[in-house]
Amino acid sequence: MRPGAPGVPEPAARPSEDAGQGPARALGDGATPLAWRAIALGVLGGGLACGFVAARGERLARLVPAAAVAVAGGMALPLARAGRRPPIAPGGPPGASPVSFSVVVAARDEAAVLPRLVADVAAQDHREPDGRPCFELIVVDDRSRDGSGEAVRTAAAAAGIAEVTRVVRREGAGLPDGKGAALTAAPPEACRGDVVLVLDADARIGPDFLRRAAAYFAAGAPAVTARRRVLDAGSGFLPGAQADEQTLDGELQRGRWALGGCSEFRGNGIMIRRDLLAAVGGWRAAALTEDIDLSSRIAARAGARVAWAIDVEVWEEPVRSWGGLWQQRRRWAEGALRRALEHGPAVLASPRLSVGARLDFAAYAGQLLVPPVAIGALAGAIAARRPGTAAMLLGGYLGSSGLLAFDALRWETDPQGRAPGVAARAGRALRTALFSAIWLAALPRALWDLGTRRGGIRYVKMAHGPSGRDSDQGPTAAP
């Protein structure tokens, strides 16, 4: 029976153990093992020192840039080539049986944007022949003070999906912050769909989103991530750079998936079979980045990899300030480090994964070491008055990003459906490469934070609003 069908009792939505108390309450001093702190500081200091010494030595100064370019090219070219031959082609098998969805949204003070997302969900054409929806909507109202829950109920009633919409209020003192913590209020056993889909409160989706996503699960994928798109990408450098960065990241993840590697979720548009989510313990309040945390758990425990769906698009607002972007990237960087330390050993030792998948994970985690070495090498080259070495290092780092971005931008079109010309692609690829340099600062800072922070991690919530919601660059309008 589908969500909302008569006779189906509504499961109780309750926070899991992780949502309340115990070790997961704080991610600060008591939750960070001393070994992690030592590793973080060792990687930071050792990487800076190795890069500095290498760039000052005569022979090493020539070898380091060449090795960096060789490694980057050796990884990038196979990924770009494999991404053109995905294991599951867009469209899926004809006549696939419907897969039902539980659409879960974690929201805190999001009354300004939730009604539009509710309307997008209501407009989905993924339905039974008699018109009944093959989906339900669960919104976790995470201690909101702006009437977010009531805004959802009103919008759902107006859109005609009140019967398949639930609002779960997360309330209490001392609860951990963050999206992963909020999602524990909607555990797998509280969902009725075959697949759990997680969307951000500011997400926008077209009316065919669920139908297209269902085809991947009908074709056998246990987990899928949507292609993330950015609204108002043409409004300035920052939104445009974020949009093209998402396209570049999609190229990498699609290539990893096609090569049999440990491809990963991205936070907006996570889709996973409910039974698989339950088998790995559901959501974790302690996860700083819930998407890659879950990616590693399903890889280690079930050997499951994440399909990357190019034709299933979720649109979101960009971060509109450099300060907000810096906070976001620091959190992402530290989340990647914590994931590698916490789940890396289990992934690398998993008998359910192929040798290739484990090597892919090791290579992807290993890139976290690059920024400290690169910064140290740049400092060493400058100190040794070798501008050529510094230029080669920067050129190798930015060049590999730029070439991959140029290739990935073949997917892009303007609002009229026209592909960008070579010159436009080259300019956007250069912008993406320059923008990616933020990781040269964000990862070393995250290593320092992980090694030295006292007290809990402070979550900085990005403000969402109605601005930019009517952009001509976005999902097809729902009828």
Burial of 217 (0-12, 13-18, 19+ CB in 10 A): buried
Instruction: Using DSSP, state whether 142 is helix, strand or coil.
Output: strand
The predicted pLDDT at position 394 comes to 75
Burial of 316 (0-12, 13-18, 19+ CB in 10 A): buried
**Predicted confidence band at 19 (pLDDT cuts at 50, 70, 90)?**
very low
The predicted pLDDT at position 119 comes to 97
Of 465 and 280, which is predicted with more confidence?
280
Contact 42, 472 (CB under 8 A): no
The predicted pLDDT at position 81 comes to 79
**Inter-CA distances, 120 with 99, 113, 126, 139, 203, Å:** 18, 11, 12, 14, 9
**Predicted confidence band at 9 (pLDDT cuts at 50, 70, 90)?**
very low
Q: Look at residues 472, 64, 22 and name the one whose alpha carbon lies nearest to residue 229.
A: 472
The predicted pLDDT at position 431 comes to 95
Q: For all residues of the chain together, what is the average pLDDT?
A: 85
The predicted pLDDT at position 55 comes to 76
- The arithmetic mean of pLDDT across residues 122-137, rounded, is 95
Where along the chain do its domains lie? 34-84+362-452, 90-352
Angle between helices 370-383 and 34-56 (to 10 degrees): 40
Q: Look at residues 396, 394, 296, 299 and name the one whose alpha carbon lies nearest to residue 352.
A: 299
Alpha carbon distance 347, 261 (integer Å) = 12
Alpha carbon distance 230, 285 (integer Å) = 27
Alpha carbon distance 48, 89 (integer Å) = 43
Retrieve residue 97's tokens: 């049986």
- Beta-bridge mates of residue 307: 224
The predicted pLDDT at position 440 comes to 92
Segment 264-318, tens digit of pLDDT: 999 999 999 999 999 999 999 989 999 999 999 999 999 999 999 999 999 999 9
Segment 173-192, tens digit of pLDDT: 888 888 999 999 999 999 99
Q: Name the strands in the sheet holding 223-230, side by side, starting at the edge strand that comes first in the sequence.
A: 165-170, 135-142, 101-107, 195-199, 270-273, 223-230, 307-316, 204-205
- The arithmetic mean of pLDDT across residues 133-140, rounded, is 97
In which residue are the tokens 């399903």 written? 298
Instruction: Using DSSP, state whether 351 is helix, strand or coil.
Output: coil
Please count the other Cβ atoms lying within 10 Å of the Cβ belonging to residue 344.
Answer: 15
Alpha carbon distance 299, 284 (integer Å) = 16
Segment 201-216, tens digit of pLDDT: 999 999 999 999 999 9
Q: How many CA atoms lie within 13 A of 444 on its CB side?
A: 17
**Predicted confidence band at 425 (pLDDT cuts at 50, 70, 90)?**
very high
Name the CATH superfamily housing domain 90-352: Spore Coat Polysaccharide Biosynthesis Protein SpsA; Chain A (3.90.550.10)
Contact 5, 132 (CB under 8 A): yes
Q: Look at residues 233, 203, 252, 212 and name the one whose alpha carbon lies nearest to residue 414.
A: 233
Instruction: Using DSSP, state whether 136 is helix, strand or coil.
Output: strand
Retrieve residue 255's tokens: 């290539």
Segment 24-69, tens digit of pLDDT: 334 434 468 999 999 999 999 999 998 888 777 666 555 655 666 6
pLDDT above 90 covers a percentage of the chain that reads 62
Alpha carbon distance 378, 51 (integer Å) = 8
Distance of CA 302 to the CA centre of its chain: 20
Range scoring the smallest mean pLDDT among 102-116, 298-312, 405-419: 405-419
Segment 335-367, tens digit of pLDDT: 999 999 999 999 999 999 999 999 999 988 988
Contact 271, 199 (CB under 8 A): no
- The arithmetic mean of pLDDT across residues 417-426, rounded, is 90
Helix ranges (DSSP H) in 83-192: 114-122, 148-159, 179-183
